[in-house]
Amino acid sequence: MRCGFCLPACPTFRETGLEAESPRGRIALMKATVDGIMGPDVPFEEQMSHCLGCRACEPACPADVKYGQLIEQARDAIEEHTTQHRGWVKGVRKLVFQGLFPHPKRMELLGKGLKLYQRSGLQTAVRKTNALKLLPKQLADMEKILPEATGKGVVKTLGTHVPAKGQKVGTVGMFRGCLMDAMFAETNRKTVELLSEAGFDVAIPEAQNCCGALHAHSGETAQAKELAKRNIRAFREAGVDAIISNAGGCGAILVEYDHLLHDEPQWREDAAWFASHTKDISTILWNEGRPLPFAEPVGGEAAAVRVTYQDSCHLKNVMKGGASPRSLLGALPGVELVEMKDAGSCCGSAGIYNITQPEMANRLLEKKMKDANGTAAHYIVTSNPGCLLQMKLGIERHASDKRMEAVHIVDFLHERMAARG
Ligand code: SF4
Ligand code: SF4
């Protein structure tokens, strides 16, 4: 159709005004390579790398063009034809995709290493001696917003089964994620506790692993498929009614395992089951769980805490789960939810985009923080670890009130619930 309805939804087009930086332009470039007018060469690769993969173009498209599937195929083709990546990008890709994320034990070691770094005094020494200046600026800034690691994943803390509190509503399996469990283990623990409180028996299958999202979005499809199969097997064997994710970026690939494995007939049925039974934590809590016992504001003080919600692009655009977090936050006693302008627009985190494409990521972050500052919120609440870190970075750099905090919705809900006690 080439109607262009997707253009105003695209953050990179809005920033640059260039057709080549728009979904329609990128699709035209993809078609030109398929037709042999151009090859999947370096300029094509660069143009595809500028895409955030936020998929804001999909809900805007009247023809239901599956842009997410197109960009994955394009990146797959680039990987097949690319003989060399630029220096450190190649190193990061290899380390992350092959050496780290697919291995739960190595991710656990990463969490332990981070804990040691933070608690041994090394972090303080590094910061005092300005050693961070040796790193590229983007990485040095990321160090400042590292979450406090516990070095202990959710299974080590709670075991593989946690029973429902009170009358049971159902049995769910928790998708713990690789990065979430290494760096945000407390959020995982609280996710299970919220589910249990809401009436769900929770299984946390140990055989699960990384969701494969970063692999699928970066042209490493074969590895993404392998990871998907391991996850499907693990949750099928656990006999759960639903698979719960607390990270929009992971959830979006989990609900598309059927597409990922569409050319493997022996996996079709199981992949379709897995995809259709995956839900975000906010969605299940709001739609199916027993109401959680949240704290009343102290002394009857109304609307004491002001929050704004930054959408996870993948939760909103792929899982269609943008409403439930807002419903949960809006229903909290003593909390005022203030909508920020363009809350659904990407913050620039986008997997490892903020590391590989720092210039555009920083432009988007600065704009996002202008909108967040406009709400005068005490908290920016998010539903994805990447968005959470990016919001922390935004607060560090651009917040008009340094008391502003970025927080995962699970941590925020859990704290409001715990506050009652
Ligand atoms: S992708 Fe959809 S919205 Fe964008 S130009 Fe094509 S048909 Fe129009
Ligand atoms: S995925 Fe996001 S950045 Fe990429 S073309 Fe679509 S809207 Fe633009």
C-beta separation of 292 from 197 below 8 A: yes
3-state SS record for 59-121: HHCCCCCCHHHHHHHHHHHHHHHCCCCCHHHHHHHHHHHHHHCCCHHHHHHHHHHHHHHHHCC
From the CA of 6, which ligand is nearest? 1
Burial of 20 (0-12, 13-18, 19+ CB in 10 A): middle
Atom 5, ligand 2: residue with shortest CA distance: 23
pLDDT in tens, 226-272: 999 999 999 999 999 999 999 999 999 999 999 999 999 999 999 99
Look at residue 45 and tell me whether its pLDDT is greater than 60: yes
For tokens 């959710």, the residue is 154
Phi-psi region for residue 80, left (φ > 0), alpha (ψ -120 to 50) or beta?
A: alpha
Amino acid identity, residue 291? P
C-alpha distance from residue 137 to each of 77, 90, 284, 387, 388 (Å): 31, 19, 39, 19, 19
Look at residue 398 and tell me whether its pLDDT is greater than 60: yes
What distance in angstroms lies between residue 370's CA and the mean position of ligand 2's atoms?
21
C-beta separation of 246 from 281 below 8 A: yes
Look at residue 90 and tell me whether its pLDDT is greater than 80: no
What distance in angstroms lies between residue 9's CA and the mean position of ligand 1's atoms?
11
CB atoms within 10 A of CB 167: 7
C-beta separation of 380 from 407 below 8 A: yes
Amino acid identity, residue 268? R
For residue 2 and ligand 1, the question of a CB distance below 6 A is answered with yes
Q: How far apart are CA 305 and CA 90, in angstroms?
A: 44
For residue 28 and ligand 1, the question of a CB distance below 6 A is answered with no
Q: What are phi and psi of 115, to 5 degrees?
A: -60, -45
C-alpha distance from residue 101 to each of 79, 218, 318, 350 (Å): 19, 14, 22, 17
DSSP lists the bridge partners of residue 337 as 307
- Mutation choice for ligand 2 from 5, 12, 218, 314, CB with most ligand atoms inside 8 A: 12
The mean pLDDT of the chain is 91
Domains of the chain: 7-81 (no CATH), 102-144 (no CATH), 154-287 (3.40.50), 298-418 (3.40.50)
Burial of 241 (0-12, 13-18, 19+ CB in 10 A): middle
C-alpha distance from residue 81 to each of 84, 176, 284, 380 (Å): 9, 34, 42, 41
What distance in angstroms lies between residue 23's CA and the mean position of ligand 2's atoms?
6
Please give the share of the chain, as a percent, with pLDDT higher than 90: 70
Predicted local confidence at residue 61, as pLDDT: 97
- Residue 179 or 211, more confident: 211
For residue 24 and ligand 1, the question of a CB distance below 6 A is answered with yes
What distance in angstroms lies between residue 74's CA and the mean position of ligand 1's atoms?
17
For residue 1 and ligand 1, the question of a CB distance below 6 A is answered with yes
